[in-house]
Amino acid sequence: ENVNQVHRTGYHFQPPRHWINDPNAPMYYKGLYHLFYQYNPKGAVWGNIVWAHSVSKDLINWESLEPAIYPSKWFDNYGCWSGSATVLPNGEPVIFYTGIVDKNNSQIQNYAIPANLSDPYLREWVKPDDNPIVNPDANVNGSAFRDPTTAWWADGHWRILIGSRRKHRGVAYLYRSKDFKKWVKAKHPLHSVQGTGMWECPDFYPVSLSGENGLDPSVMGQNVKHVLKVSLDMTRYEYYTMGTYDKKEDKYFPDEGLVDGWAGLRLDYGNFYASKTFFDPSTNRRILWGWANESDDPHKDKDKGWAGIQLIPRKVWLDPSGKQLLQWPVAELEKLRGHNVQLSNQMLDQGNHVEVKVITAAQADVDVTFSFSSLDKAEPFDPNWDKLDALDVCAQKGSKDPGGLGPFGLLTLASENLEEFTPVFFRVFKAADKHKVLLCSDARSSSLGKELYKPSFAGFVDVDLTDKKLSLRSLIDHSVVESFGAGGRIAISSRVYPTIAVFEKAHLYVFNNGSEAITVENLNAWSMNTPVMNVPVKS
């Protein structure tokens, strides 16, 4: 096997080889979590797309099955693209997916059902002959019409969304059905936004206004808000808004003050795309899956024999403020925690970096709370930065440029002499009326390797600083650093390819390059064990 394993992840989801992209139709059925995903069974580049299929009891250890959906009919002969599952009230799952019907990538929507409902593995899927369920009409752009959502039910009708665009306007078309078979396009889309381009992989779901529990897709009412997330083909970022779903008009209205477009809230400010949530009735959580592509030259993907990972599934819920979502890696991940190292009340003066001696710094979970005694030294916020993406602010300021309050944080996947490191850090700024907190995951110093994409991913996080604390959790796994700032108020994922800082040559440090002293109040780091990852199910 000529698969180069240096950058292979240890506990992130991936098959043994070949290309993967979007997570599809995640669901819980008869005691098992199912994950399907876009997969090229023939190589490490995009193409020949089928739905690969894996199952898990805990979202962390995965067993693989044969592909569930693959080209076999006139209505999907050129590819089986992304889609979603709906678990009907009688417990039966149905998959909707996009079928490609010709060389021009013409798109229609199909359904598939399990051949044997008593098989908890749902190994075999049937595509009935009354497919497709939706054909594009004359007003729809037939090569930009895909990625059906999970269905929800309201007032006698099922509904689904299909992502699309009309010229430059991103559109979520709405289709309705009484019987789950015959689907009719609604007069108006659920929502659309000028200038945002193709909306891939829309996701639309209710969130509770109180507490962290997830909701079934059809829950509506007083205590509920809705979330609409889309993946923007143009920028390769996703954005979401919260708002009101008016089921009479069948329209979605984002809340006042939220930005509807590429400058809006993101689920992740880094490498995270085509994400999808599902409701897990066994634990009452809503769980989010997202895909992280490689950030190196596609030739290297071919050399290593694989490309793409799924990030760690995250629980999502509404922040009590109602102004954003919160996210946290599913608790099951903590079962993989091994050797533990702690730091407490560790002072970091300007210029300090202190090693955290985890056993496997290349495969670790770190959770740290920093504190400081004053906000006075926060650097001024340049009003021109309001026009920039946070990533550009991060690029200007970096992790080394001395600041006031920050930069401080972690140096992950660092070589001993810091020729390579991926810093994940905060910088606090003082704007006219408030403080602005930047979290940055800066890949620019991550590798001495050539032809890599090394973006300075960053986002501003809306966090209350009255207790003068900032927390950070980073999931480090060889070629990915997945970070959660301020208790899940922001997430940033980076793919990085160190050449020196690999395996036991990878180190982990806490650092501060700001003039305000920082205290590591409490830090826990764990070496992470390797789960069962896509070993075939024994039949």
Nearer to ligand FRU, 105 or 530 (CB): 105
Nearest-approach distance from CB 200 to ligand FRU, in angstroms = 4
Choosing from 14, 38, 40, 277, the residue that interacts with ligand FRU (CB under 6 A) is 38
Query: Which tokens belong to 138?
Result: 């004359």
Nearer to ligand FRU, 38 or 363 (CB): 38
- Asked if residue 146 binds ligand FRU (CB under 6 A), the reply is yes
Nearest-approach distance from CB 43 to ligand FRU, in angstroms = 14
Measured CA to CA, the distance from residue 512 to residue 290 in angstroms comes to: 31
Residue 22 bears catalytic tag:
yes
Choosing from 40, 54, 56, 82, the residue that interacts with ligand FRU (CB under 6 A) is 82
Measured CA to CA, the distance from residue 358 to residue 176 in angstroms comes to: 54
* Residue 101: alpha-carbon gap to chain centroid: 29
Choosing from 7, 14, 19, 21, the residue that interacts with ligand FRU (CB under 6 A) is 21
Nearest-approach distance from CB 295 to ligand FRU, in angstroms = 15
Buried b (16+ CB within 10 A) or exposed e, 233-258: beeebbbbbbbebeeeebbbebeeee
Sequence letter at residue 402: P
> From the candidates 22, 250, 389, 442, which is the catalytic residue?
22
- Asked if residue 274 binds ligand FRU (CB under 6 A), the reply is yes
Angle of CA points 444, 479, 501, to nearest 5°? 70
Choosing from 14, 15, 22, 264, the residue that interacts with ligand FRU (CB under 6 A) is 22
Angle of CA points 516, 519, 523, to nearest 5°? 145
Measured CA to CA, the distance from residue 176 to residue 185 in angstroms comes to: 6
Nearest-approach distance from CB 99 to ligand FRU, in angstroms = 10
Site string for ligand FRU, 42-71 (x = CB under 6 A): -------x----------------------
Nearest to 11 by CA among 351, 302, 323, 362: 362
End-to-end CA distance of the chain: give it in Å, rounded.
Answer: 25
Nearer to ligand FRU, 200 or 516 (CB): 200
Nearer to ligand FRU, 146 or 473 (CB): 146
Residue 148 pairs in a beta bridge with none
Residue 24 pairs in a beta bridge with 36
DSSP 60-86: SSEEEEEEEE-S-STTTTT-EEEEEEE
Nearest to 430 by CA among 377, 372, 490: 377
Nearer to ligand FRU, 200 or 389 (CB): 200
Choosing from 28, 75, 81, 497, the residue that interacts with ligand FRU (CB under 6 A) is 81
Nearest-approach distance from CB 81 to ligand FRU, in angstroms = 3
Where on the phi/psi map is residue 351: left (φ > 0), alpha (ψ -120 to 50), or beta? left
Residue 214 pairs in a beta bridge with 207
Measured CA to CA, the distance from residue 313 to residue 290 in angstroms comes to: 8
Of residues 438-457, those binding ligand FRU (CB under 6 A): none
Nearest-approach distance from CB 83 to ligand FRU, in angstroms = 8
Choosing from 63, 147, 268, 516, the residue that interacts with ligand FRU (CB under 6 A) is 147
DSSP 101-123: -STT--EEEEEEEES-TT-TT--
Element (H, E) at 533: strand 533-536
With CB under 6 A as the rule, give the number of residues binding ligand FRU: 13
Nearest-approach distance from CB 123 to ligand FRU, in angstroms = 22
- Residue 167 has a CB neighbour count (10 Å cut-off) of 9
Nearest to 148 by CA among 20, 292, 24, 293: 24
Nearest-approach distance from CB 231 to ligand FRU, in angstroms = 6
Of residues 185-244, those binding ligand FRU (CB under 6 A): 200-201
- Residue 26 has a CB neighbour count (10 Å cut-off) of 24
- Asked if residue 162 binds ligand FRU (CB under 6 A), the reply is no
Measured CA to CA, the distance from residue 11 to residue 246 in angstroms comes to: 41
Nearer to ligand FRU, 84 or 479 (CB): 84
Nearest-approach distance from CB 144 to ligand FRU, in angstroms = 9
Measured CA to CA, the distance from residue 495 to residue 482 in angstroms comes to: 9
Nearer to ligand FRU, 144 or 393 (CB): 144
Measured CA to CA, the distance from residue 391 to residue 398 in angstroms comes to: 10
Whether the CB-CB separation of 94 and 86 falls below 8 Å is answered with: yes
Nearer to ligand FRU, 22 or 63 (CB): 22
Nearest to 184 by CA among 173, 192, 169: 173
Whether the CB-CB separation of 130 and 118 falls below 8 Å is answered with: no
Choosing from 98, 310, 479, 493, the residue that interacts with ligand FRU (CB under 6 A) is 98
Nearer to ligand FRU, 200 or 294 (CB): 200
Whether residue 132 has a cis bond before it, omega within 30° of 0: yes
Nearer to ligand FRU, 202 or 514 (CB): 202
Nearest-approach distance from CB 80 to ligand FRU, in angstroms = 9
Catalytic residues: 22
The contact set with ligand FRU (CB under 6 A) reads 21-22, 38, 49, 81-82, 98, 146-147, 200-201, 273-274
